[in-house]
Chain A
Amino acid sequence: MAPNSNCTDFKVVVLGEGRVGKTSLILRYVRQIFAENQQATIQASFLTKKLTLGNSRVQLAIWDTAGQERFHALGPIYYRDADAALLVYDITDRDSFNRVKNWVKELRKFVQREIVVVIAANKQDLARNQQIPDDESQEYAKSIKAGHFKTSAKAGKGVEQMFLQISRQLLAQRSAELSKAASSASSGSKGTGSTGRRSVIISDEPSSSATKSSCC
């Protein structure tokens, strides 16, 4: 009935300290622009993007959030029901990386469902001022089973791949949930899955989602 009934919707919340480039990443991805010297006559705090992965159609609703410290406590209002969290830091700013770690802790604590987490090491175009070595952040991402991408909204680097990866993981996670629900329903067991509910952060192996991507 609904025009989009065969399209799976996901909510992606973008978290990151003020001025690390959250908005630019979103704009780069959805609009293919980096609005440095051009008029960006759009509101960029909420955008949607549709894409097709194999046989699946996906629509991402991308929620930008205010990253200033004074708004930190409001975070759960935004990410509580998110399907994915994109954590952005600025590679030239150590504090912004520490904030990312903070959010990871919070997400573990407050999001009771499984949620896809991906870290964006943004502003790669400023690599000469890099404060956080790649190794360090990649290690960290690995330790929390999160995806890790080196991005530059300005150069358009890594952005597309990152969101594709997020989408794949979301789809894989959704189908895992569905099959889990189906199997638990057929076996007569009740309620949501008994396994893995405590592990908030998951990271499906990309290979497990045998979907070919063709972005639209």
Chain B
Amino acid sequence: MASRPRTGTEGSHGSHGGGDPALEYVASVGKGTDLDENGSKFMASSSSVGMEGEGTGKGVTEGVSQEGGEKGGRNGGGVAAEAGEVQQPFVASTAPLTFTDFLEKMRAPAAMDLVRGIKGFINDMLKSSTTGDAEGDSQKVQSFLSQSEVAFQSHPLWHDSSYEELEAAGEGLEKYLLTKLYGRCFGVAAEDKERDELLNQRMKALRSFIKPEHLDIPDKYWNEQSWTLAQKELQKINTYKAPRDKIVCILNCCKVISNLLSISVEGAGADDFLPILIYVLIMAAPPQLESNLAFIMRYRLASRLNGEAAYFYTNMVSATTFIETISPSSLSIDASEFIAHMQAAGVPGSQDYQSQSAAPGGVTMTEVPPPAGAAAATATDSRNGVGVVTPNPKQAPAMPPASPNPLQQEREERLLSNPASGPPPVPEPVSLPPLSVVEEKGSTMLLEAEGLGELHMRYKFLYSSLSDLKLKDLGVLLNDYKELALRFESLSRGYKLVSGKDLALEEQAAPRLVKAFHRTTPLVGGEVGQPSGEGLIRLADNPVMAAGGALPDPPLMSALPTPPMQQQQQQQPVSNSPLPDLLS
């Protein structure tokens, strides 16, 4: 009890992700690690957006984060007075210690024991057989991080060190660890991908028609320049790997909006903030945002996700939830207009909004029970758009009941928690459209996704030719194959249960699909031994497929070898020179 983790309150001390990586980067530019280069890029691109910086990184630090003055004046006065006004939130002042300092410290002979421990942990993580067990990974990393912080406190290397120096060491470790483990830990969980897809789909549709007035954003806050800047800050989230740096992108985005709101003479609060954040988010549409949010929650040391960082993080979670569960009544817009737009944008299941549009307010919207039978949902591809993000029935049991971090718990449960959401409904047979129709629809979407390069993120070998493959890829391939086989088998059994039709026998569409795919990509023709499976599996991958719990955690996953770290990282849009090896 005494140590019950508190969120949102330690805002005035420590380094709680309050936006100072930018500062660290300022300090460490030129020292030559890859992440520092990221930092300088960050600065450069931001100041070019027109903040008042003098073409240096300061512009961002002060202009966006408004904390220059509070950081011990290292960056000079600048906006310090104004920053002072901004008050506690970003008071968090980390000593001017950088990630580079951490790395240097680790090179000291006295650090050998620590380095060995860190390296051992990373190796164990990479070797551990199950991938996609995000919660398990999260717990391991969280406990390693907190244990290490305790170890730092009594370690000779930090003898007589200040609180800030220890904090910085903890930050450094977190950054190092998660950069090394990024390929394993980021965006690999099935539920993250599902959420990403759902969110992207909604954002894309909304982007085609939404106006600030639909969210009743007052005219005085219509500021294209600020909004664009906020979008750009948010879009940087995928250029960083460390959880803290990702949070900073969220914070910077929110800070831009907060600064905009400060023109208000009445004192603008959350009533004004959230609608703008949602609008900015829709316009920014950063890929993999749900994966990013989950990554932060899992791998940011829980005790550091607090204060203002926790507040704005929560707002971002709130904004994505709003978008994922959007219905006509969520917006100040004529229901039929909304439905027409969503249909035009090809949001599957948008005709279902019809019945929703009468529902007053968001609560009712989310009371809609998950579609009867997940496979039914599969057929129309995510009726979860109606406000129910169905993966949760599957997700929930996998989560530890008492999450150490209340925020994490909140994220896990947030969609289960709506009023009147009862127990998951019992699947009952429903009439499904013929499979060929379903698959036809799916394949159109698939090709679209393929055009956007989304498939490449998920199926790393999709564009490989035979000569690209290395022996070590075999393990991954085999594992992928098993997973696909199991998912397909689960889906087809589930489909048969609800529809009485046999999925495995209706394969007409698939060969066409492969053919279409062939036209655009140099697929290894001879390799496609199971063309039908290819097409179907992709269908099966849509967000709702897993909703009925049909997805097993494949018992055969143990075949997975250590994921080739560098290779996986390179899939991410991350500028990517390798981290220096601690054990050089």
Contact = CB atoms under 8 A, between A and B. Distances in A.
Contact of B265 (A3, A40, A61): A40
A81 B410 contact: yes
Interface in B377-436: 406-407, 409-410, 413-414, 417-419
Contacts of B317: 77
Interface stretch (A43-51, A138-146, A204-212): A43-51
B129 interface: no
A11 B8 contact: yes
A64 B2 CA distance: 27
A72 B9 CA distance: 24
A69 interface: yes
Interface in A1-39: 1-4, 9-11, 18-19, 22-24, 26-27, 33, 35-39
A40 B261 CA distance: 9
A45 B270 contact: yes
Contacts of A3: 12-14, 163
B318 A178 contact: no
B350 interface: no
A14 B307 CA distance: 16
A43 B12 contact: no
Contacts of A81: 7, 406-407, 409-410
A23 B14 contact: no
Interface residues of A, number: 59
Nearest to B405: A81
Given A18-B271, A40-B267, A78-B314, A61 B307 contact: yes
B264 interface: yes
Contacts of B325: 73
Given A36-B266, A73-B365, A78-B314, A43 B413 contact: no
Interface stretch (B30-38, B45-53, B83-91, B450-458): B83-91
Given A1-B166, A24-B267, A73-B362, A45 B258 contact: yes
Q: Which of A40, A43, A44 is the most central at the interface, judged by chain B CB atoms within 10 Å of its CB?
A: A43
B86 A73 contact: no
Given A72-B363, A81-B406, A178-B1, A11 B9 contact: yes
Contacts of A33: 267
A177 interface: yes
A81 B216 CA distance: 29
B89 A46 contact: yes
B12 A10 contact: no
Interface string A137-173: 0000000000000000000000000000000000000
B329 interface: yes
Contacts of A44: 267-269
Query: Which DSSP category, helix, strand, loop or mixed, fits chain B's interface?
Result: helix
B262 A23 contact: no
Nearest to A178: B1
Interface string B290-315: 00000000000000000110011011
B8 A42 contact: no
Contacts of B267: 23-24, 27, 33, 35, 40, 42, 44
A122 interface: no
B361 interface: yes
Interface string A161-198: 00000000000000001101110000000001000000
Interface in A48-68: 48, 50, 59-61, 63-68
Nearest to B367: A73
Nearest to B257: A43
Q: Which of A19, A48, A68, A192 is the most central at the interface, judged by chain B CB atoms within 10 Å of its CB?
A: A48
A66 B270 contact: yes
Interface string B85-112: 1111100000000000000000000000
A77 B12 contact: no
Contacts of A76: 410, 413-414, 417-418
A94 interface: no
Contacts, number: 185
Given A40-B266, A42-B87, A45-B258, A109 B414 contact: no
Given A37-B265, A44-B269, A72-B361, A61 B11 contact: yes
A104 B572 CA distance: 45
A214 interface: no
B266 A35 contact: yes
Nearest to B364: A73
A10 B9 CA distance: 6
B541 interface: no
A11 B8 CA distance: 6
Interface in B202-219: 216
Interface in A96-145: 106, 109-110
Contacts of A18: 271
Contacts of A80: 406, 409-410, 413-414, 417
B9 A2 contact: no
A112 to B, nearest CB: 10
Contact of B262 (A4, A22, A42): A42
A107 to B, nearest CB: 11
A4 B12 CA distance: 8
Interface of B: 1-2, 6-14, 82, 85-89, 153, 163, 166, 216, 255, 258-259, 261-262, 264-271, 273-275, 307-308, 311-312, 314-315, 317-318, 321-322, 325, 329-331, 360-363, 365-366, 406-407, 409-410, 413-414, 417-419
8 contacts: A44-B268, A61-B8, A64-B269, A64-B270, A66-B271, A68-B216, A69-B362, A72-B362
Given A1-B163, A4-B13, A73-B363, 16 more contacts: A9-B6, A24-B267, A36-B265, A36-B266, A46-B8, A46-B308, A48-B307, A59-B11, A66-B270, A66-B273, A73-B325, A77-B318, A80-B410, A81-B410, A180-B1, A182-B1
* Nearest 6 pairs of A and B residues by beta carbon: A23-B269, A9-B9, A81-B406, A43-B258, A73-B362, A181-B1
